[in-house]
Structure 1
Amino acid sequence: MAKNKTIETTQSVAEFLNTVTDDVKRADSFRLMEIMKEATGFEPKMWGDAIVGFGSYHYKYDSGREGDAPKAGFSPRAKEFSLYLAKNYADSEKLIQQLGKHKVKGSCLYIKKLADINEDILREMITLSIR
């Protein structure tokens, strides 16, 4: 069975975020880190080489594949932020409609910049997601 690529590492989150070249995206990255830290109660950790994760949980699929993943997280990708949140909580659809400018593809939520969304709604989504 293939080894999981996205595992918790000891890489510095601040060093990683400082490699973001766009000034607005870098500032948003640090702000998003603070929002997630406050909403989850967990310290940020690097997962793989590009995901900032908060907390962790163990999963096991019927296929036998298993591993650990962050309870919540984000990655400052080239075009947009990928946010990793659970979507199976009460009011998830209602909250996502109130979030602001975003896209959803598969299990990821995408935003271009924090100015496009309601941070209070995001905070609530993160809190409910990790419960």
Structure 2
Amino acid sequence: MAETKTKPTEASVDAFIAAVADPVRREDARTIRAMMERITGETPRMWGPSIIGFGSYHYIYDSGHEGTSCRLGFSPRKAEQVLYVLTGTAEQQEQLARLGKHKTGKSCLYIKKLADVHMAVLEEIMRGALKHMDERYPR
């Protein structure tokens, strides 16, 4: 079975964010980091080379594959911020409808710039995602 590549590292979160080339994306990353840190109460860590994660949980799939991942996380990519916060719940669907300009993937929320979204709704989404994680994977 393949080993998970996205593991916590000792790389500096501050240095990673400081190296984000686009100044708007860099400042947005600082804002997201502060929000996730406040919501989770966790110190951020780098997970692999490009994900800033908060907390951790252990999972086991029906296939037997298991690993550890961050409870909440994000990555300031070249084109947009990628937030790992989607749960697929009906409540979250309603929140996404109120969020503002964004795209979604399976478990990812894509935001080009924070100025395009309602920050209070983004915080609701993050809090709901953490609650979902805490219920599914108790600490």
TM-score band, normalised by the shorter chain? over 0.9
- For residue 98 of structure 1, what is the aligned residue in structure 2? 98
Q: Give the counterpart letter for 1:106 in structure 2.
A: K
> Could you say what secondary structure the match of 2:121 adopts?
helix
- Aligned Cα RMSD in Å? 1.1
Q: CA deviation at 1:42?
A: 1.3
What pairs up with 1:1-131 in 2 under 5 angstroms? 1-89=1-89, 91-131=91-131
Moved over 6 A (4+): none
Partner of 1:92, secondary structure, is helix
Gap regions ≥5 residues in structure 2:
132-139
Q: How far off is 1:89 after superposition?
A: 4.3
- Identity of counterpart residues, as a percentage? 46
Residues of 2 paired with 1:86 and 1:23: CA distance?
26
Gaps of 5+ in 1: none
Task: Check the 8 A contact 1:54/1:73 in 2, yes or no.
Answer: yes
- Higher helix proportion: 2
Return 63-72 or 87-96, whichever deviates more. Answer: 87-96
Deviation at 1:120, TM superposition (A): 0.8
